[in-house]
Amino acid sequence: MITVDFTLFPVGPGRRVLDLGCGGGRHAFEAYRRGADVVAFDQNENDLADVAAMFAAMRAEGEAPSGAEADTVKGDALDLPFDDGSFDRVIAAEIFEHLPNDTAAMAELYRVLRPGGIAAVTVPSWLPERLCWALSEEYHTVEGGHVRIYTRAELEAKLKATGFHIGPHHHAHALHAPYWWLKCAVGTDNDTHPAVAAYHRMLVWDILKAPRLTRTAERVLNPLIGKSVVVYLRKPLDRAGDGV
């Protein structure tokens, strides 16, 4: 399930991409498939082991262009082990809502992106997230869970204060919002509840088959209840440089 729109975030051979807080690696795999040199970064060793195994499988099956490189690195988003300007592109998907010191992580993202480089930042959208918090205390108090709800204006203001020029934005995954509302209503760990299980089957079917009906419905609903908001940014060539 890809959140970033790669038509707005072009990657390919010769581009070095950091997937910051890669989790299961969905965006790292897509960037690698497109021929970029990818670093999947996370603090979770188990996730990184799975991502490394998938990178190896993609190489073995020829799913990535010859010459593209992919690696995993463990570390802290507040203290990235990379030199200034190391990456042409940085993806930070659903990470800042987990971090008490989100502005420090944004500053590190800015530091490791080269001047003129592009970043894609995604966080849960305000309305779907607000409903999840209202329906379930557990949803946002579990260890490692979400510590804040962003409005897009707040997210963009923090990123602008970091030094970024703000570019386009869009919402994604509207069909996933009701799934999380259901889970919050019946218990976030209650995956066997009939309504939750049925909706999950529909989501899996939609991901695998991408039927026209659900794809059209999601495009229409995304601006209203898209589960994620995606903001595209550019690091200026200098502090007074042109933006996106």
Task: Confirm if 143 and 96 have CB atoms less than 8 A apart.
Answer: no
Instruction: Report CA Rg, the chain.
Output: 18
Location of structure tokens 């204060």: 161
pLDDT at residue 244 is higher than 70: no
pLDDT of amino acid 145: 85
Domain locations in the chain as residue ranges: 76-173+222-234
Does the structure show a pLDDT above 70 at 76?
yes
On the CB side of 205, CA atoms within 13 Å amount to 10
Asked if 140 and 133 touch (Cβ cutoff 8 Å), the reply is: yes
How large is the average pLDDT for residues 176-204? 96
Whole-angstrom Cα distance, residue 200 to residue 7? 28
The region of weakest confidence among 33-47, 133-147, 202-216 is 133-147
Fold assignment, 76-173+222-234: Rossmann fold (3.40.50)
Spatial CA neighbour of 20 closest among 103, 121, 98: 121
Strands 113-124 and 228-234: antiparallel
pLDDT tens figures, 140-189: 888 888 999 999 999 999 999 999 999 999 999 999 999 999 999 999 99
| Alpha helix positions (H), 17-91 | 26-33, 45-61
Is the CA virtual torsion 112, 114, 115, 121 positive or negative? negative
Report pTM. 0.94
